[in-house]
Amino acid sequence: MKRRKVMVYRPTVRYPDTYEKYVKEAVEATHLDGNQIIRLALFMAAHNKEFQNILEKYKKSDVTLPQADWGLDEDEAWKNQNYTVKPKVQKKPTHVESIRVINKGGIKYVPKTTPLQAERVTV
């Protein structure tokens, strides 16, 4: 069986001494290597509101900001440089919301239509 070769992105990162000191101290304080520390920072940044707010300030007017392909539960995405992102599975709602409709005959509860249900409605 042939092994699939995975391409690994290897950027050169230039940052001030204060970042280098932080990464070195994080490596010494944990069981992680420097690459894992940097990958963890990028992994978390994609799900961080403060990071997104800063990107929003510098965003080009004709494009949208990217969304992470990985979920916060995918630790292997930052631990392993050859990780393959899991396909996203859309979760079904666990409960049905209802709205209150008042008729002459009393109060009637009607299930609220979700966007997914609205797409399935045929005319």
Instruction: Output the pLDDT for position 38.
Output: 94
- Domain residue limits, the chain: 17-79
pTM above 0.75, yes or no: no
- Cα end-to-end distance, the chain, whole Å: 51
Separation CA 58–CA 10 (nearest Å): 24
β-bridge partners, 111: 98
Q: How confident is the model at residue 83 (pLDDT cuts 50, 70, 90)?
A: confident
The DSSP symbol for 12 reads: -
**Contact assessment for residue 77 and residue 35, using Cβ atoms and an 8 Å cutoff:** no
Instruction: Output the pLDDT for position 40.
Output: 95
Across residues 110-114, what is the average pLDDT? 61
**Contact assessment for residue 47 and residue 53, using Cβ atoms and an 8 Å cutoff:** no
